[in-house]
Chains A and B, each alone.
Chain A
Amino acid sequence: MAAPCVSCYAALSCRLFLGGRVSLSQKQGVWKAAAAELQTGTGSQILRLRHTTGVSTKKNVAALRRETYTVDFIKKQIEEFNIGKRHLANMMGEDPETFTQEDIDKAIAYLFPSGLFEKQARPIMKHPEQIFPKQRAIQWGEDGRPFHFLFYTGKQAYYSLMHEAYGKLLEVEKRQNQLQAKGLFSEKTKTKDLIDSRWLIKEELEEMLVEKLSDQDGRIAVRRVTCLVSRSSYYAQFIRLLERLLTLHCGSEEEFVQRFRRSVTIQSKKQLIEPVQYDEQGMAFSTSEGKRKSAKAEAIVYGHGSGRIKVNGIDYLLYFPVTQDREQLMFPFHFLDRLGKHDTTCTVSGGGRSSQAGAIRLAVARALCSFVTEEEVEWMRQAGLLTADPRVKERKKPGQEGARRKFTWKKR
């Protein structure tokens, strides 16, 4: 496997790009050179990039144009990507036919472990469509006549989309009027599940249309009226139109609208629910742990009780003389409305007064999960009761007095 590995590696290395988007402000010439060398496939591209940058910065400073990738170039990249994918699958011992993008990511993370904090700075291998920015093909023919009828509006894709959407709106209204006239209009409201999807954001729409949607300036549109028309951006108008379409309960146009909605990432509802344990007297209890800064706590919550809490064998009133700490302890119980119903025993060590309180709160909340319904667990998770606080003390940097505080600046 050694020899084929090396060659595959070489092939792979061409495909690897450091960084998400290759949108450096490079000159076109540089890129062409890089592209040519890529196709020869000698050496790593990254090194070459740095090399050529150093050489040609001084020239072509004036001609700062966005880099253009030819269609052939993109096609070549796609082929190389597929070949590289197959090589990678072979290397990992998987089946090249069923090698998905997730598998690619895992393999790359395994082969090139990186300790960098910034996720986008780590090595990635993705389909060229996602890496190279989308570019528009030439939009006019040889005679200079544009292909699209809305070319001279400036934003042809945007206006054609609006035109289409408005056409659908009119169609739906016409249909509904017809149905109403016939009397067959049913009031059934097909409210789609709008909760787990959201509209595209402006950046995503721009990406889709490959056009810049700047803020619309009302002044230009209405010259006769001296006062400023309220500024409404292109994006806002588009969204408004789509929402209007939605309110008319169109059954057929749903896929059209769904194209512009993205599903909200469903939160991982995987909470480890500890099972309720039973001790000798038949009393139900559950145990769990919690951490905050450097304090670790372990809590045992009993099913039936009168709301007494013992911390390290001491009553919580004496252990936490500050009201704020006791309020932290109260939060999980109060949230679930079970203030006087559970007895708790906890052990805590490390940290300070406030972090110990936070650690116990987390432990108690996790322990209460086993006594409580799934819905309430979800509520607790949304309230932030079940998340461990990731804040720790920031490191002190050299040349500064603290983590953020700089030394006193003296003018002379």
Chain B
Amino acid sequence: TMLRRMTRLLSGARQLDPGRFLHRGSPAPQSLDAHLDDQRPRAVSCTSEDDPVKTFNEACLMVRKPALELLHYLKNTNFAHPAVRYVLYGEKGTGKTLSLCHVVHFCAKQDWLILHIPDAHLWVKNCRGLLQSSYNKQRFDQPVEASIWLKNFKTANERFLSQIKVQEKYVWNKRESTEKGSPLGAVVEQGLTRVRNATDAVGIVLKELKNQSCLGAFHLLVAVDGVNALWGRTSLKREDKSLIAPEELALVCSLRKMVRNDWHGGAIVLTLSQTGSLFKPRKAYLPQELLGKEGFDALDPFIPILVSNYNPKEFESCIQYYLENKWLQHEKAHTEEGKKELLFLSDANPGQLERLCAYL
């Protein structure tokens, strides 16, 4: 749910004009901490739902060092070189996903085309409808996930959909086809209306974007959360109860091609996540452990960025934010001892702190 909320947040984000930060009541994202440099109006709300953005009437991100580092690299990317891969890794709950979102938001402001997959783990587990692909007989389609993603993609990159033109002709079935030169929006529409072909639509979109970003009309940012899902194991089974390898899923294949750095004109930012990963021990957080040999080789070379727990200063600012928005109601939360207790119990881990403060 956390990541589903994230997609909706980001799609909401792109609707605003770039250059202004979010401070509208955007639907349902997770708790984000505020600490931006410039002033923003903050509305304090009295409701206490488990939806902090509705509670705080705003969505704020904490600017932290890993994110800043990434943004620095992104600003200095040379678009002639092949796309550089950045991998955010770290312990559970340290803020990798949020750093990713920060980067995505930044790029949205900079008017890049965002290809954001909120959680690749959703594609390899708990899928209901698996169809045999029409395009390639050996692969499997996932209409549900594909259509969800197409919807988000549409809301996120509305402007680009009309600008980009398809360079080939695609035949869907006997009656429908997309001509060469028609806008990408048509492909997306096709995928949304005809759910059976949604996966293929996704594949087409990705291929087109990859080819066209080299032309330089736009910058492409590929942001994948939980990229270790692409090379791990799936929990999906065929009708005869035999396991499916990730290679046999069409979505996974197209995504893998995307993540290979044989194109230029953009950047790839990836996050490893143990939370949704299947069959991996809880304490594994290094890229090598989570990606496995295959994934590591595929992603090599990449730039690793470690996301760690809060600094004392960051922790302070987080608590201050909660206090200002009157989220912490306990009397002791204001005192020094209370802060020390929270620090000890959460060990400066953002995820733990959030869970602790949830019922304070």
Contact = CB atoms under 8 A, between A and B. Distances in A.
Contacts of A337: 337
B341 interface: yes
Contacts of B127: none
Interface in A137-194: none
A318 interface: yes
Contacts of B345: 323, 326-327, 330
B91 interface: yes
A343 to B, nearest CB: 13
A207 interface: no
Q: How large is the interface on A (under 10, 10 to 19, 20 to 34, 35 or more residues)?
A: 10 to 19
Contacts of B344: 307, 326, 330, 333-334, 339-340
B352 interface: yes
Interface stretch (A290-298, A309-317, A370-378): A309-317
B341 A334 contact: yes
A316 B343 CA distance: 13
Interface residues of B, number: 15
A318 B91 contact: yes
A388 to B, nearest CB: 24
Contact of A317 (B337, B341, B352): B352
Q: Which of B346, B347, B355, B356 has the most CB of A within 10 A?
A: B347
Contact of B343 (A314, A318, A323, A339): A339
A315 B347 contact: yes
Nearest to B283: A318
A299 to B, nearest CB: 16
A230 B337 CA distance: 49
Interface in A263-320: 307, 314-318
A58 to B, nearest CB: 70
Interface string B327-360: 0000000000100110111110100100110000
Contacts of B347: 315-317, 326
Contact of A314 (B283, B346, B356): B283
Nearest to A338: B340
Nearest to B309: A317
A327 B342 CA distance: 10
A188 to B, nearest CB: 42
B341 A339 contact: yes
Interface string A334-348: 100101100000000
Nearest to A329: B344
Nearest to A323: B345
10 contacts: A307-B343, A314-B283, A315-B347, A326-B345, A326-B347, A333-B344, A334-B341, A339-B337, A339-B340, A340-B344
Interface of A: 307, 314-318, 321, 323, 326-327, 330, 333-334, 337, 339-340
- Nearest 5 CB-CB pairings of A with B: A317-B347, A339-B340, A330-B344, A339-B344, A326-B345
Given A317-B347, A317-B352, A340-B343, 7 more contacts: A314-B283, A315-B347, A321-B282, A326-B345, A326-B347, A333-B344, A334-B344
